[in-house]
């Protein structure tokens, strides 16, 4: 699966994950590495930059590893998180940036500014 995606410079922010082949709706695009889990106390001690790479899924704080940590947010995402995987919610073409909806997995107390640039961009979020 690693050759199915590549990490490179993103127009949204920093690095991004890009499809290296076409994906069909419902297909797993990325399986998460969930080996690094932390508790809420450890999460609260992290810097804002470090918190950016933590997802809260099924009550577990997961420190995202590469390539997952490079999936950028979009207000018009092409994947959704299911069972610690990014799953295509529509067909994705080769070369397209893989995006997700951070509202699915950011911890409740986090606030951030969206830079996705999509037509329906909401600008900023607080869960």
pLDDT at position 108 over 70: no
The string of pLDDT tens digits covering residues 22-79 is: 999 999 999 999 999 999 999 999 998 898 889 888 788 999 999 999 999 898 999 9
pLDDT at position 94 over 70: yes
Say what the pLDDT of residue 90 is.
98
**CA-to-CA distance for 118 and 40, rounded, in angstroms?**
32
Query: CATH: 1.10.3720.10, 2.170.270.10, 2.60.320.10, 3.30.70.940. Which one for 2-126?
Result: 2.170.270.10
pLDDT at position 1 over 60: no
- With a pLDDT cut of 90, the percent of the chain lying above it is 61
Helix (H, G, I), strand (E, B) or coil at 107: coil
Residue count (the chain): 127
Distances (CA, A) of 68 to 59, 120, 123: 18, 24, 22
Mean pLDDT, range 111-122, rounded to an integer: 77
Where are the chain's structural domains? Answer: 2-126
pLDDT at position 17 over 90: yes
**CA-to-CA distance for 43 and 82, rounded, in angstroms?**
22
Q: Model confidence at 119, in pLDDT bands (50, 70, 90)?
A: confident
Helix (H) or strand (E) holding 40: helix 40-45
CB 12 within 8 A of CB 99: yes
Distances (CA, A) of 105 to 3, 19, 58, 71, 109: 25, 22, 9, 12, 12
Helix (H, G, I), strand (E, B) or coil at 56: strand
pTM score: 0.85
């Amino acid at each position: 699966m690693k050759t199915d995606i590549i990490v490179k410079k993103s127009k949204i922010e920093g690095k991004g994950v890009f499809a290296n082949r076409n994906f069909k709706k419902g297909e797993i695009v990325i399986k998460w590495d969930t080996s690094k889990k932390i508790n809420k106390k450890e999460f609260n001690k992290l810097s804002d930059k470090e918190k950016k790479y933590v997802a809260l899924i099924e009550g577990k704080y997961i420190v995202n590893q590469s390539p997952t940590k490079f999936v950028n947010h979009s207000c018009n995402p092409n994947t959704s998180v299911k069972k610690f995987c990014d799953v295509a919610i529509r067909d994705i073409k080769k070369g397209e940036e893989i995006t997700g909806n951070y509202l699915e997995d950011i911890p409740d107390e986090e606030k951030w500014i969206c830079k996705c640039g999509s037509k329906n961009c909401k600008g900023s979020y607080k869960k």
